[in-house]
Amino acid sequence: MFAPGAGRFLGPPVGVAVVLLGLVLLGIVPASVYLLGLFLLAIALAVFFAVFFRDPDRTPGEGVVSAADGRVRAVERDGARWRVSVFMNVSNVHVNRFPVTGRVEAIEVSGAGHRPAYRADARHNVQQRFELSTAYGPVEVVQMTGIFARRLVSWVSVGTEGTKGDRLGMVVLGSRVDVLLPAGRVTPTVRVGERVHAGTSTIAREGS
């Protein structure tokens, strides 16, 4: 299963590979090292995008679950909230999910610049913030851009009712996703460096 929009990336290299193969098999053009190189490049790009846009089904985990696949880069207090930040590299599944069941109250794009996503000051990068009303209180999911990841995708709108683990959007080509949780209601259960998976890995549980 592929994420929405995968076709616009997968289609061109697959099309080029099919056309090149057809031209050679039909004898329209002779086989050559040049054509072989183009064919292999097209196949490599198709495989890359197929891996990048994969979207496996997930069974929701317990408590508050991660909104992104990757490694936990920070677990820290941010005022009256906990911030759990996950860095996604290019090999991770890039589909982001609801960390808890809730209603989308606002979607806001803000920030400026495209600093490396693993740096602390990347929180000032261009970002897309989803404000959710949940049984735990206000929860935010923040998609951040990075040096190469500059396309933030949303598959929801204000008023969307999402169940924990439902698809929320994606960040194209890496970067990071932060989840901000009310400190008085939940306690983080993950540590920096842990690998997590969107929708299944528990990152916090109820209780302070």
**Which residues are part of the catalytic machinery?**
175
Q: What's the gap between Cα 205 and its chain centre?
A: 22
Strands laid side by side in the 127-134 sheet: 161-162, 102-110, 127-134, 137-144, 175-182, 81-88, 70-78, 195-196
Closest CA to 169 of 120, 99, 115, 118: 99
Residue 129's beta-bridge partner residues?
Answer: 108, 142
SS3 174: coil
